[in-house]
Structure 1
Amino acid sequence: MAPIRVALIGLSQSAKTSWATEAHLPYLLSNRGKQKYKIVALLNSSEAAAKRSIESFDLGPDVKAYGSPQELAADPDIDLVACTTRVDVHFPTVKPSIEAGKAAFVEWPLAENAQRAAELATLVERTGAPTFVGLQGRVSPIIRKLADTLRDGVIGKVLSSKVDAYSIFSARDTVSEGMSYFLNKQIGGNSITIAVGHLIDTIHSVLGEYVSSNAHTQIQRPDWAVTDAETGAKRSAKCDVPDLLSLHGTLSASSYVAEGASLVVNFRRSTPFPGITPFVWTINGEKGEIRVTNKNGVYLSAEGDKSAIKTEVHSFATDTVETLDWDFEEWQESLPPRSKNIAKLYDLYADGQLAEYGGVDFASAVKRHEQLDRLLWP
């Protein structure tokens, strides 16, 4: 089968974040990735910027450069567009390609809010364009291992679960100029939509959804300093995004989740007290308990760093604790941590297996957006 012809949106050597470079490009340029995909175009803020990126990443003279989403959408030699831009640019850059019937892979969040995400999902219904979203935690090997362990009844039915998470890569009250949009919830990219969004989607993919839930949020630090990395200059800014969240509710009953089982999620955008593990997830069952810890904090599976994650099972009958073994596939091992699970999304899509792995399309992403909107806009 011929490789899927992919256009990358937002791959730039001058980007404020390096997600496209660190998470998408390694797989697409790997031997396995090249068997299934071929980068044929880049879309950046201008055609000149796209040309500079093509040269900078040594993508080859045949890769086309675009500065217009409409021109990209009109190219018949593109099968899939992969959007890695800032979230508030997702909608205008992807919409023309969706209208043209192209497949689309959009990083999470899908759009600034549930309404804009729903507009894209509705458009997809009309065009029939295949879509998937970068909620890669669902295909992470640790998450699949946890789900399989629960389905196998190792700890009996789940009675309750609790998560305590911190975003350790975030400063308490300072942010770079390039990331200052995290302070404005209107833009749609922030610690709630991204950090908590990935976290809660991952948890629900294991335990199922809430039947009912309530949340408390707080903006502990509304006053921030925004720093220019080049000049060192600082300016003051207000933040309207909660930096503290407590979410609690009742899970839907299933073959491995008991009626009335509770899920409590606590998140704080900062480092914890010294010596406290910045991520602890416990799943309490009838016959035992699972504990997952991550030295990298809230990003359990988005980062894909196995050395930071520890998973244990406590058997009540024997009062023993054993390690729950899991691993990446051999072909993933050579990829950087951030690329491992993104690569799995690409791989599953190419093989037509994304749905059976629980991959997220635009319609499913809207449901998660609606949950997060209720937290941000109560």
Structure 2
Amino acid sequence: MASAPTPLRTALIGLSSSATTSWASAAHLPGLLSPIGREKLPITALLNSSVKAAQSAIATYQLSPETKAYGSPEDLANDPDVDLVICNTRVDKHFATILPSVKKGKDVFVEWPIAANLEDVETLVREAGKSGSRVAVGLQRRWAPPAVKLREIIKAGVDGKKLGKILSVDVRAYGGTNDRDIVPEGLAYFLDRKVGGNVVVIGNGHLFDTVLSVVGDLEPGAVSSKLQLQRPDVRVRDPSTNEIIKTVQSDVPDLVSLHGTLKHSSATLSYLFRRGQPFPGTPALTWTINFEHGEIRLVSPSGLNLELGEPVTIHVHWFDSDEVEEVKWEWNAEQTAIPPSARNVINTLVAFADRKAPGDGWVSLEDAANRARLIEGFLAEWEKSRKDA
């Protein structure tokens, strides 16, 4: 019998004790401090903007006093007692904070988006190829239970009854931010294209990746995109006072419309994402997959995160009987002990720690880079059309 993989001694980048928003504390820390996290991914170091900031986070989150505090990506990369580096900083800091560890050949998990621009993404791909660094990217929503259930239905049907070939896919999504023309102060960077983190690549990007992971990739050259900036003047709100403190001119699209052909089924994909709230009473996400013998409809009432908010529902309409059947999905018992925002993350990290193959619970850098190239292509086309107008 093969022995269990050696635990990965883990360093967290960006676990802040003072940040306005902290994905590290909300989505990573709960899983890492769970029994399976402690067993497979023990936290041994933090990297923050300074050693003092790292020490403050160690104290705030009551981590082991033996946890090392770093203020330099190079110093962290040179620590032989760190096997895995997990990056949770703002996207424009990803490249600088993980590059030294990638060059050293360490395992790295970087949240999506990979980096602020394609040039940095391509550099990371090259350097990982040279050093042998395993790099996972945080597109973990592919393994949210509703997405897993959809793949099961497509492959095996429901109770052995199959739906046949996919003919078309339709996605209508709203969100990315809570409001169509207001953002909280901590997310004002969403309005600045050069930062690299915005609703097109984050809220829309996660959903778009999940959809393609279920129905299959697009045929190269067989996709047309139309992006639009409908509301360029966006108000910024101070969450502490709820007052509008300034208005910023955005250079990031707030509507994405795509039409394409799926590579393996020749089915048509129609995809629409709009930032902000939908029409009252309209779900945040309605996703239908039309087959020869029936149709699946997934509805997420309150958000694009399939694991958060009001429960996602999945129904199948059988054409022969005209019956509509609800298909249930669920978290396993181990997952329910962890907050919903952290469940997909720890699942991915455990798959990575268990040395599973890319695509088996985690997304490789090469795979994620292809998705980044696709989305950046849509943005580049939009930017060119604006200049030509």
TM-score range, shorter chain: over 0.9
351-360 vs 240-249, greater mean Cα deviation:
351-360
Amino acid at match of 2:231: R
Uncovered stretches (5+) of structure 2, i.e. residues with no partner: 382-389
Matches of 1:185 and 1:350, distance apart in 2 = 34
Residue matched to 1:70? 74
Please tell me whether residue 296 in structure 1 is matched to residue 263 in structure 2: no
Task: Choose 82-91 or 106-115, whichever is displaced more.
Answer: 106-115
Rounded to whole Å, the distance in 2 between the matches of 1:230 and 1:197 is 29
Q: So what's the TM-score if we normalise by structure 2?
A: 0.92
Q: Which residue in the other structure is 2:217 paired with? A: 209
Secondary structure at the residue paired with 2:328?
A: coil
Aligned to 1:310, which of 310, 313, 323? 313
Residue 271 of structure 1 is matched in structure 2 by 277
Return the offset for 1:14.
1.2
Q: Partner of 2:292 in structure 1?
A: 286
Cα distance change, pair 233–141 in 1 and its aligned pair in 2 (3 A):
closer
1:376 aligned to 346, 358, 379, which one? 379
Aligned to 1:151: 155
Distance in 2 of aligned mates of 1:47 and 1:129: 25
Counterpart for residue 332 of structure 1:
335
Indicate if the aligned counterparts of 1:168 and 1:296 stay in contact, CA closer than 8 A.
Answer: no
Aligned-pair identity in percent equals: 44
1:159-215 Cα shifts (integer Å, max 9, x gaps): 000000000742222222221100011111000000111011101111111111011
Match of 2:180 among 172, 196, 210: 172
Quote the residue 1:24 is aligned against. Answer: 28
Q: Could you tell me how far apart the structure 2 residues matched to 1:321 and 1:176 are?
A: 41
AA paired with 1:332?
Q
1:228 to 238, 255, 275: 238
> What are the within-5 Å matches in structure 2 for residues 1-378 of structure 1?
2-152=6-156, 154-167=162-175, 169-211=177-219, 212-230=222-240, 232=243, 234-253=245-264, 257=265, 260-300=266-306, 304-305=307-308, 307-357=310-360, 359-378=362-381
The residue type paired with residue 107 of structure 1 is E
Q: Structure 2: which amino acid aligns with 1:12?
A: S
Q: Distance in 1 between matches of 2:28 and 2:174?
A: 25
Does the 8 Å contact 1:139/1:357 carry over to 2? Answer: no
Cα distance between partner residues in 1 of 2:331 and 2:148 = 11
Q: Once the two structures are superposed, what CA deviation does each residue of 1:278-333 show, in whole Å capped at 9, x if it has no partner?
A: 11000000000000000123223xxx138520001111111111111222221001
CA distance in 1, matches of 2:125, 2:176: 33
**Matches of 1:57 and 1:217, distance apart in 2:** 42
Q: Which amino acid aligns with 2:261?
A: T
Post-superposition CA distance 1:235-272 (Å, at most 9, x none): 2211011111111111112xxx3xx3100110110111
Deviation at 1:230, TM superposition (A): 4.7
Contact 1:9 1:42 in 2 (8 A): yes
Letter in 1 for 2:249: K
The letter of the residue matching 1:112 is: A
Contact 1:168 1:278 in 2 (8 A): no
| Mapped partners of 2:24, 2:313: distance in 1 | 28
Partner Cα distance (1:152, 1:184) in 2: 44
Aligned-residue Cα RMSD (Å) equals 1.5
The superposition leaves residues 207-230 of structure 1 with CA deviations (integer Å, 9 ceiling, x where unpaired) of 111111011111111011223345
Q: CA deviation at 1:120?
A: 0.3
* Alpha-carbon distance, 1:32 to partner: 1.5
- More displaced, 168-177 or 78-87? 168-177
- How far the C-alpha of 1:115 sits from its partner, in A, is 2.2
Distance 1:351 1:341 in 2: 15
Work out whether residues 176 and 203 of structure 2, in 8 Å CA contact, stay in contact via their aligned partners in 1.
no
CA distance in 2, matches of 1:213, 1:205: 17
Shift of the alpha carbon at 1:356?
4.8
Q: In structure 1, the residue corresponding to 2:15 is in which secondary structure?
A: coil
Cα distance change of structure 1 residues 355 and 275 upon mapping to structure 2, 3 Å threshold: same
The residue type paired with residue 92 of structure 2 is D
* Aligned residue pair count: 370
Task: Output the CA distance in 2 between the equivalents of 1:295 and 1:168.
Answer: 14
On the 8 A contact 1:295/1:309 being kept in 2, the answer is yes
Alignment partners' CA distance in 1, 2:280 and 2:370:
36
| In 2: Cα distance, 1:246 partner to 1:322 partner | 30
- Are residues 46 and 25 of structure 1, via their aligned partners in 2, closer, same or farther at CA, if it must alter by over 3 Å? same
Structure 2 letter corresponding to 1:195: G
Query: Match for 1:93: what amino acid?
Result: T
Q: Structure 1: 5+ residue runs without aligned partners? A: none
**Aligned partners of 2:379 and 2:238: how far apart in 1?**
28
Residue aligning to 2:387: none
In structure 1, C-alpha distance between the alignment counterparts of 2:197 and 2:359, rounded to whole Å: 29
Give the TM-score taking structure 1 as reference length.
0.94
- Which stretch of the first structure deviates more once superposed, 140-149 or 349-358? 349-358
Between stretches 128-137 and 358-367, larger displacement belongs to: 358-367
